Amino acid sequence: MFSDLLCFSHLRWNFVWQRPQHLMTRASAHRRVWFIEEPMDTDGTSYMDIRPVADQVAVAVPYLSTSLSKHERVRTQSTLVRQMRGTDEAALLWYYTPMAREFSRELEATAVVYDCMDELSAFAGAPPALRLWETELLAAADVVFTGGVSLFEHKRARHPHVFAFPSAVEVDHFRGARKPLPDPAPQRWVPRPRIGFAGVLDERLDRDLLDHVAKVRPACAFVLVGPVVKIDPASLPQRGNLYYVGMQPYQDLPAFMAHWDAAILPFARNDATRFISPTKTPEYLAAGLPVVSTSIRDVVHPYGVDGLVQIADEPDEFAQALDRALRPASPGWLASVDAHLSGMSWERTWSQMDYHIRRAEAARSRAATPATLADVAHRPAASESPGNIDAGVR
């Protein structure tokens, strides 16, 4: 019998479909998942809005009265989470945001997981207390996962059990872009060649780079799919060959990509991008698209080093790399892409994460105090191993 999973997320379920949704839907095969979003304000009485979004997955949004003091907000949020399930039974506590420890630290846990998908403290508008709460979360966590290798290297000295699980991909979903698909209405009238970007448009986007490349390649049309977050939309470059089509459903992304000629990752090089591992890299490649990216470390290694993605930082070099990307691919490139992606499924990632989680839960159940896992650090027998456990970099 598996315990419930309480996932505390800074990202909303109906936002861009990415790591939290991929993993929580797979976790729900054996656990009841409660996806707890950040609170919203209400002028009335505080309450928890709960809505099912998938089999065994419910999204819970705390609505907190604006009349509450900060201390009352924390206490009320804690009460709402406790009442949500109708039981005080221990649950697997899964954190994407360390800030959630403020109201959840007293919950009974079968194990505590910190899935650190980004260095949130480096993002614009990060709460000043985030670093302190992360320190507490790291002290409480049984196991820490990171969204990339560079983030793993940044965190591994702060916890004895850190494992890197870079962005995976639903290969079959995006491989659909290699087949004829109807051109989605938002880009149907956009001329070719089309250069695409899919992702959140925020402070990580190098707007000057994008503006320059669009200026010096006026014959190319640049289609940007995704919501504008934490930046003024007016700050985005405006040119006749730049097309902002907004956030699109995850299931429609292959249809957009099927009508692109190349894809780009025009990320700025700043604190917010220092440790990112863009989910779109393997998704673009699964779609069969040539890719040009700035020198984001987790893109350079392994994609750039392996010749799967072109890397360029300076605007003119980026434009030249884009010219090369629009030429016919070298023989064997697509086969190399497919070979690289063959071991990167979200199913595989979840299976390996689940192995570490079960070890943590087993250790806690045997100990009177939170386990360090030292007593179960044996190598798995072939019968109990979900695959190549070492794929989670230690």
41-63 residue pLDDT tens: 999 999 999 999 999 999 999 99
287-327 residue pLDDT tens: 999 999 999 999 999 999 999 999 999 999 999 999 999 99
User: What is the per-residue pLDDT for 378?
Assistant: 43
Give the span between the Cα atoms of 394 and 381, in whole angstroms.
19
The H or E element that residue 10 is part of is none
Q: Following DSSP, what letter does each residue of 267-298 receive, concatenated? A: B--SGGGTT---THHHHHHHTT--EEE---HH
Q: Given a cut of 70, is residue 389 above it in pLDDT?
A: no
Q: Given a cut of 90, is residue 234 above it in pLDDT?
A: yes
Q: How much is the pTM?
A: 0.90
The pLDDT of 167-171, averaged and rounded, is 95
Class of domain 171-341: alpha beta
57 touches 28 (CB < 8 A): yes
Domains of the chain by residue range: 5-168+347-391, 171-341
What 3-state class would DSSP assign to 86? coil
Take residue 390 and report the two structure tokens written for it.
């070492």
227 vs 147, 273, 302, CA distance in Å?
A: 21, 18, 28
Domain pair 5-168+347-391 / 171-341, same fold = yes
Sheet strand arrangement including 194-198: 242-246, 221-225, 194-198, 262-265, 291-293, 310-311
User: What is the per-residue pLDDT for 393?
Assistant: 46
Q: Given a cut of 90, is residue 266 above it in pLDDT?
A: yes
Domain 5-168+347-391, what fold?
Rossmann fold (3.40.50)
123 vs 128, 138, 199, 269, 274, CA distance in Å?
A: 11, 19, 16, 13, 10
Shortest CA distance to 101 belongs to which of 55, 134, 143, 54?
A: 134
User: What is the per-residue pLDDT for 235?
Assistant: 97
Give the span between the Cα atoms of 260 and 109, in whole angstroms.
46
Handedness of CA 227, 145, 112, 31 (dihedral sign): positive
Take residue 229 and report the two structure tokens written for it.
């977050």
Beta strands 194-198; 262-265: pairing state:
parallel
What 3-state class would DSSP assign to 244? strand
